[in-house]
Amino acid sequence: MAADHLAPPVRQSDDPEYSANLRRATLASTAGSALEYYDFALYGLASALIFSKLFFSNLDPATALIASFATFGVGFVARPLGGLFFGTVGDRLGRRWVLVVTILLMGGASTLVGVLPTYEQIGVWAPILLVFLRLCQGFGAGAEQAGSTVLMAEYSPVKSRGFFASLPFIGIQAGTLLAAGVFAFLGGLPEEVLLGWAWRIPFLASSVLILIALFIRMKLRESPTFIELEQNDQISDRPFSEIFGGSLGSLLRGIGLRMAENGGSYMFNSLAVAYATGTIMVSKSIGPIAVAVASLIGMVSVPLAGWISDRVGRVPVYRFGAIVLLVLAFPGWYLISLGNPVLVIVVIAVAIGFGVNTMLGAQCALLPEMFGNKHRYLGVAISREFSAVIAGGLAGVLGAVLIKAYDGSWIPLAIYAFGLAAITFATTFITPETKGRDLTRLPDALVENRETKVAAR
């Protein structure tokens, strides 16, 4: 049932005086999204293509790939911890300063990866340091995207919240495109050059994105809904206890919605690239090209999905994205297994560009709208990051294990992808519609939806 009737006639963020702050919030969120996904796409592609040779050269190739993806997964272990910590801080002290701290922590760790010595230079300390930096990166990222999502939803005009909230996520596509473009270029270099020094350049380049994002965020003002909490003395002293005490249903739905979106993203961004290049022996440049094409599609499909969700609702749009991955699971992985470079590009581009990004476009407004104002940051952070561990964090490691255990068969990978999509598809049928919801409301959408049904009866 739509929640349009809950929206007030006028909201602060609809007022013309907020237009400058809305633009600033959009730029701040976009820059952070670009950095986060540049870093994560970069790390994911590096895990698939080169880290096994740089940091695990003492292992056989198949085991080294598992170890490489394991370090990638370690970052997802730190993300919920960062989400819990920074989410609590964001609900108690505000969104702005949390976003400044997380951009420094996340980007700084990525930059330092570019100066790490390899296994041949310092032995086992090389992967240990890599894991430490990956933990730091994950801890910062655990609240970065949640903060950007909440900030934009709280700043956006009510009637076009889906569209405006999705705009910063173009930064996700830009960051992923940039990382994929860099690796597509690096993939054409001689291996001794790539593994010698060239792999360091894209990580060191993270410092440029940090400076840009930091400059914008230092000028950012606090969101209008948090200001209202402060003015009404409604800020929760214990958002952590509050979220687990009364919002468990919303959290579980948020996690379920993210299984296909987050898991599918990393399956096709990283695992499919590793499978195509390492098992099917497609050229190393094909995977990054496919990811780049998907990102170009996403620059249109993400805001388009957000715009459509303002008209038909968040849940139907989200369900459509889940159906794309559900239908594509078996034929998609089969086509990748054929080793045709064009088919590899098409499958990855369709899966990410239309499946994952359609869900992402609707999710930008849906997740913040699901939670009440007193614990919104923490609720979105937990939903995003706990699902990131279960879905995205396991995708690379479990996928690499399946590739080794089943001698490169595509069928286990297809079953895995189908399972993630099925969970999200089912979750859309128990998720309340939130389009147009007033974000100054304190209860969760799920609670209000139940109360409305009881009152109607």
Q: How large a percentage of the chain has pLDDT more than 90?
A: 27
Question: Among the ranges 104-118, 130-144, 320-334, which has the highest mean pLDDT value?
Answer: 320-334
Concatenated DSSP letters of 289-300: HHHHHHHHHHHH
- The whole-model pTM stands at 0.80
Token digits for 168? 């910063």
Neighbours of 5 (CB within 10 A): 10
Asked whether residue 238 is assigned to any structural domain, the reply reads no
Q: Does position 443 have pLDDT exceeding 70, yes or no?
A: yes
Residue 390 inside a domain? The answer is yes
Sign of the alpha-carbon dihedral angle for 167, 268, 118, 197: negative
In sequence order, the 6+-apart residues with CB closer than 8 A to the CB of 315 are: 362, 366, 428, 431, 433
- List the domain range (segments joined by +) for residue 398: 19-220+247-451
Is 119 contained in some domain?
Answer: yes
Overall average pLDDT of the 177-183 stretch: 76
User: Higher pLDDT residue, 258 or 156?
Assistant: 258
Q: Is residue 9 part of a domain?
A: no
Indicate the angle between helix axes 357-370 and 286-312, nearest 10 degrees.
50
What is residue 369's three-state secondary structure?
helix
CATH of the domain at 162: 1.20.1250.20
**Which of the pair, 172 or 59, is modelled with greater confidence?**
59
Per-residue model confidence (pLDDT) at position 306: 95
Confidence check: pLDDT of 4 > 70:
no
Task: Evaluate if residue 212 carries a pLDDT over 90.
Answer: no
φ/ψ (deg, to 5) at 308? -65, -35
Asked if the structure places residue 29 within a domain, the reply is: yes
Q: How many domains are there within the chain?
A: 1
Tell me which residue of 122, 91, 103, 11 sits closest to 374, measured CA to CA: 91
pLDDT of 456? 63
Is there a domain that residue 342 lies in? yes
Tens digit of each residue's pLDDT (9 = 90 or more) over 240-264: 788 887 889 999 999 999 999 999 9
The reported pLDDT for the residue numbered 8 is 41
Residue 16 predicted with pLDDT over 60: no
- Tens of pLDDT, residue by residue over 263-291, are 998 888 778 888 888 788 788 778 878 88
**Average pLDDT estimate for 294-323:** 94
Place of tokens 């706990």: 386
d(Cα 199, Cα 122) in Å, to the nearest integer? 18
Asked whether residue 6 is domain-assigned, the answer is no
Percent of the chain having pLDDT more than 70? Answer: 94
pLDDT digits (tens, 9 = 90+) for 186-205: 767 777 777 788 888 888 88
In a domain, 155, yes or no: yes
> Which amino acid, 186?
L
Exposure of 56 by Cβ count < 10 A (0-12 exposed, 13-18 middle, 19+ buried)?
buried
